Chains A and B, each alone.
Chain A
Amino acid sequence: MIWNETKECMSRDQINNLQSARLRKMVKRAYHNVTFYRKKMQQIGLEPGDINGVEDLHKLPFTTKQDLRDNYPFGLFAVPQSQIVRVHASSGTTGKATVVGYTRRDIEIWQECVARVLAMAGVGSHDIIQVAYGYGLFTGGLGLHYGAENLGATVIPMSTGNTQKLITLMQDFKVTAIACTPSYLLHIAEVLEEAGQIDNTHLKVAICGAEPWTDNMRKQIETKLNIKAYDIYGLSEVMGPGVAADCKFHKGLHVYEDHFIPEIIHPETLEPCKEGEVGELVFTPITKEALPLIRYRTRDLTSITYDECECGRTIARISRFKGRSDDMLIIRGVNVFPSQVEAALLEMGETSPHYLMIVDRINNLDVLEVQVEVEERYFSDEIKQLDSLTKKIARALHTALGLSVKVRLVEPRTIERSQGKAKRVIDRRKFD
């Protein structure tokens, strides 16, 4: 079902006109209300009046995650704090979180976008949906929660962590839909399988996201659980989950262009890519009141098409993600930068700062192992001391990353030294 046919099936001209009008207003708001944008535009001699429409978008400067960090916590907000009704945050590379805010209107638009995603996946008011993303500062839980409520579905705010309970409630409540990371869903499927309960659910649809996955993984989920699975994409800086999602034809993720203008650029030259060419995805959210980002660089690599989809939607589609233009990893839905590990080790100061991160998917759950070299001056020949060092490192990394980490002590000088760019990460997960 198409939740908002007016907005999802406009002609290209209508889309351009709507985007242009909204972009003009948004640039004005950003220029007048956010010092950062005013300065940035003044530096290159640009005024809000120079932006007449989407065709002028390329004149505007980019915004990066670093800009959000530099203006921590509320520096990029365009409205007084009294108008902010909610704040979300994700962990940053250097300990400082990336903070995003929403006005009441921003939240309404978010709910609308998520409702569109769910409707596209065939979820409706008769459905009972378990939201098994983390609730809290992470946008996944609350984002899906309010979107599903807006749609009129019955929401079970499950959050993450207790698979057994999730399964019990899934069976007892006759849950028909679930929203969680794809790897977690495969894990749930395995637990069901082991208990001989795989055919004993009412589940028919899953909305999965917050981490990269493949078509093969989708098919695996669909076959194992005998359901349909859909891909949902988003990032907190731009809004949260619901910026884009796929329909039953699975030929790319539909971007809600009435709220977000997508661009694809070469990550090196920053020049626009041709339609269909792989590059870095850039978003300009044009209706956001609290945090009006201009040309936000997502670092996600993908391509775009403006062809009408078989489902009837005319809005642009982005292809499955091909990777990242930076070194960020997504582990169990949590964004992790290798530099966070380094910073945490240096801060702790009881190990060498040489480390190797090994990411793997074991029984469909992402596992992060961090190998750390033992330094001679911290080497004790008592196992108790070495164990307590291991635990201390694990605690420090857990605090820094928001993710449990398996720490492994290794001999000194066994981790490859930096000659140019050191190899800090081995990702054994298969995304192709």
Chain B
Amino acid sequence: MIIKQLSVFIENTEGILECVTDTLCKHNINIVSLSLVDASEYSVLRMIVSDPERGREVLKEEGLLAKLTDVIAVKTPQKPGMLHDILTAFRDANLHVKYMYTYSSSENYATVIMRLSKLDTALSLIKQKGYEVCTDKEAYEIVNLN
């Protein structure tokens, strides 16, 4: 299923990352996974958190620019060629990967967060190929990932 990623506009100024972590901490929101893009003037912080809706609200109250983005978390079996297999399927279907990053790695799976041009098509392709994706509960609470 499609899960919500919390994306925050990060101006390249001192203390801004701490402002995000401080706000989330105060509201007892856990950061499960994150990726920070490196750009010169500004950046985007992408996070999977325990409560994305609430996360967006509290960051907004703090004056930050935050939004929720649809992504999927694909459980890639822990052996060579699996990610390649999935990406090949996407390419054959003309799907376009906008970005991806590792969510977690365990004995059985490397779970990868992906943002794609057509998420629904991607989901059915993944299913067809016999792979699994995380549910929102699994992703936000880190369960069933082994």
Contacts and interface: CB of A to CB of B under 8 A. Distances in A.
Interface of A: 374, 376, 379, 381-384, 386-387, 390, 408-414
A376 B99 contact: no
Interface residues of B, number: 19
Nearest to B64: A411
Contacts of A379: 9, 65, 67
29 contacts: A374-B9, A379-B9, A381-B5, A381-B46, A381-B69, A381-B115, A382-B44, A382-B98, A383-B39, A383-B43, A383-B44, A384-B98, A386-B9, A386-B42, A386-B44, A390-B41, A408-B42, A409-B9, A409-B11, A409-B41, A409-B42, A410-B11, A410-B42, A411-B11, A411-B64, A412-B63, A412-B65, A413-B63, A414-B63
B76 interface: no
The interface residues of chain B, by DSSP majority, are classed as strand
A379 B44 CA distance: 10
A413 B11 CA distance: 12
Interface in B79-99: 98-99
A376 B98 contact: no
Nearest to B42: A409
Nearest to B41: A408
B37 interface: yes
Contacts of A383: 37, 39, 43-44
- A-B CB proximity, top 4 nearest: A381-B7, A381-B44, A381-B69, A411-B11
Contact of B63 (A384, A409, A411): A411
B15 to A, nearest CB: 12
A374 B44 CA distance: 13
A382 B44 CA distance: 8
Interface string B38-72: 01011110100000000000000001110101000
B11 A381 contact: no
Contacts of B41: 390, 408-409
A105 B64 CA distance: 62
A132 B46 CA distance: 49
B64 A381 contact: no
A151 B9 CA distance: 59
A409 B41 CA distance: 8
Nearest to B37: A383
A382 B64 CA distance: 17
Contacts of A382: 44, 98-99, 115
Given A409-B41, A409-B42, A410-B11, A381 B63 contact: no
Nearest to B10: A411
Contacts of B64: 411
Nearest to B98: A382
A413 B37 CA distance: 23
Contacts of B65: 374, 376, 379, 411-412
A84 to B, nearest CB: 47
B139 to A, nearest CB: 17
Nearest to B39: A383
B40 to A, nearest CB: 10
B67 A414 contact: no
B67 A376 contact: yes
A414 B64 CA distance: 9
B53 to A, nearest CB: 15
Interface string B92-132: 00000011000000000000000100000000000000000
Contacts of B69: 381
Contacts of A408: 41-42
Contacts of A414: 11, 63
Nearest to B6: A381
Contacts of A413: 63
A29 B41 CA distance: 57
B36 to A, nearest CB: 11
A384 B67 CA distance: 17
